[in-house]
Structure 1
Amino acid sequence: MQFLHFNAGIDDVTAARLAVQQAVQAGASVMVLPTGITALAARRLGVPIPAVFATYTDPMRDGIVDSMTSPHGMTGISLADWLDEKRLDVLRQAFGGLQRIGVLADREWVALFDVERRLAAYGQETGVQLTLFLAQDEADVITQMDSPTAARQQAWYIPPTFVSYVAEGTIRTQLQRLRRPAMFGTTEEVQAGGQMAYAQDTSFAMPTLAEMLGRVLAGELPQHMPVERPRRFVLSVRLGDEFAVDVAPAVVRKADLVITAHAALPAVPH
């Protein structure tokens, strides 16, 4: 078997389109499209060969597939994260009486996941005031979290966005300065020092993508393979004197991972 690699760049529509065309011209019998932008390029070009893809967005909304259960021409994995309301629910359970929650995120996340409408609906339903703080880099994070409005927030929600990755340490430093609890979007952020997270378990992604590729190479049609999504979710909690407010014991008991000053203790899976 021969593997050919074509560089599609990062967030470069033209490069993605060219890479897909090169793969077709090279006579590939199947394509692996590891990003949403390459998958969409293949769909728009009407590529005649089967493909497997991975994307962090919604493949139906983006136009990559017409069906999640019977995708035509290509199938794959969607890691689109729609857990914001769930995370806010757990945050409120963990720290009772919250009326003002700051949400720190970047503009791309806000646009991709219809965030402003969803936050407004959640606030109206629960009576919680949610304030959106937009930041693209570490400097923006410091500016936003150093503002008088930020000081009035009782807790913070840090969704899994690009800025939460590039400014992870700065965000934790600001939270420690503000002495406010926070909910993160990945287990790794709690392992690095964050207080709490509710996360999709994405460890299945690469093995599943490889399995799908093998099935396509064996002759199975993509439309017989539903698009896969995360099926397991992990609640992790860190306990320690460095936090101003403790996580409610009832939430700690539900956690899949509890990190103490001495060790990481796996709780009973649920």
Structure 2
Amino acid sequence: MTDRRSSMKILAGAALLGIARRASAQKAKSFTIAYLALLPGEDRNFVPNFLHRLDQLGYVDGHNLHFIYRSADGRPELLPGLASDLIGMKPDVLVTGFGTLAAKAGKAAGDGIPVVFMAVGDPVGAGVVASLARPGGNVTGLSDLAAGLQGNRLQLLCEIVPAASLFAAVLNPGTPYAALAYKELEAAAQVAKVKLRAFEVRSPEQIAPQLEASKAAGAGGLVIFEDPLTFSQRSEIAAVASRLRLPAVYGYREFAEAGGLMSYGTDHGAQWRRGAEIVDLILKGAKPADIPVEQPTTFEFVVNLRTARASNFTLPPTIMIRADDIIE
């Protein structure tokens, strides 16, 4: 009986040791995540939210996570080469940051490696995925466009300049998102019984002339469509709009932080954190084709009161009450 009990203890101990070893091996498993950025400064503006959420989920950079970051620093022509280099490192997941171009470069270089995009305005129209519900292939991620978003932005302008009969949409026609967003804004303008006119910018040099042209045309305010070009030139756009005394609404809080009057759009902190959760699902075995592309559900409204005062804009109480954040 004593020998039997001893044998059982030995077997039990061996079983527990095996479980501990398997758990230790699983815990020690390391993953490689590559990140492809188009914009300069994504590692400061967006990536920290992504890495912080991964850390909360148990992926610690330098411990069980190898994080590789590459940026085109605003030069789209560099994206294909950078994407190929990253894919050549055989990461477990390739993450593409802000914009459609990074996502398309990541998809093209894919080679069977899962790709998660963080912010693509119209992923279906741009050919990044087959549909939002069923992305297909090896790509999924987060869209940056939500129904009603443009109408809400236009309503904010109408509250600030209720007498205006014409508003200008400043957009980059080279961005697939622009056509879809303008169509939605146009429908909102018809409901609000105001006119809308598009002013196209394809390069930084066109920004000031086009904003000045909108002023000359009699626009009472501006809706600035977000894309890599306008985002990278946000300080210049805000400065010109202020000089022309044109109230403007932007898509991201970074525009308001750069001196823009107000922004209403996706909460990018929440979006990049959600992106980390999608990466976690893939690392645990989920297939990108089975993960629907998600549209934003969390938004933030930021008002720059300093800009309002400097430009002598009167902001009605309805605006100030609804603001999630006020820059003073």
Superposition TM-score tier, normalisation by shorter sequence: 0.7 to 0.9
Looking at structure 1, the residues matched to 82 and 214 of structure 2 have their Cα atoms a distance apart, in angstroms, of 46
Looking at structure 2, the residues matched to 41 and 190 of structure 1 have their Cα atoms a distance apart, in angstroms, of 30
Superposition CA RMSD, Å: 3.5
Looking at structure 1, the residues matched to 202 and 127 of structure 2 have their Cα atoms a distance apart, in angstroms, of 27
Partner of 1:78: 143
**1:247 and 2:296 aligned:** no
Structure in which a larger fraction of residues adopt helix: 2
Looking at structure 1, the residues matched to 170 and 178 of structure 2 have their Cα atoms a distance apart, in angstroms, of 15
Structure 2: which 5+ runs fail to align?
1-29, 35-67
Cα deviations by residue, 1:50-93 (Å, 9 ceiling, x for unpaired): 44333423223333333434444443222246632221122112
TM-score normalized with structure 1 length: 0.76
Aligned AA for 2:129?
A: V
Partner of 1:31: 93
Contact preservation (8 Å) 1:100, 1:128: yes
Larger Cα Rg: Structure 1 or Structure 2?
2
Partner of 1:257: 325
Looking at structure 2, the residues matched to 68 and 148 of structure 1 have their Cα atoms a distance apart, in angstroms, of 35
Contact preservation (8 Å) 1:106, 1:162: no
Looking at structure 1, the residues matched to 290 and 162 of structure 2 have their Cα atoms a distance apart, in angstroms, of 46
The structure-2 alpha-carbon separation of the partners of 1:124 and 1:41, relative to structure 1 and needing over 3 Å to count, comes to same
Partner of 2:157: 91
Partner of 1:228: 294
From 188, 197, 205, give the equivalent of 1:131: 197
The within-5 A match list for 1:194-213 is: 194-213=260-279
Cα deviations by residue, 1:149-172 (Å, 9 ceiling, x for unpaired): 536222222222334333333323
Contact preservation (8 Å) 1:181, 1:244: no
The within-5 A match list for 1:44-123 is: 47-72=111-136, 73-80=138-145, 83-109=149-175, 112-114=178-180, 117-123=183-189
From 267, 270, 284, give the equivalent of 1:218: 284
TM-score normalized with structure 2 length: 0.64
**Local SS of the residue matching 1:58:** coil
Residue 233 of structure 1: how far off its partner (Å): 0.7
Contact preservation (8 Å) 1:201, 1:232: yes
The structure-2 alpha-carbon separation of the partners of 1:157 and 1:14, relative to structure 1 and needing over 3 Å to count, comes to closer
The alignment-based identity, stated in percent, is 23
Looking at structure 1, the residues matched to 179 and 310 of structure 2 have their Cα atoms a distance apart, in angstroms, of 33
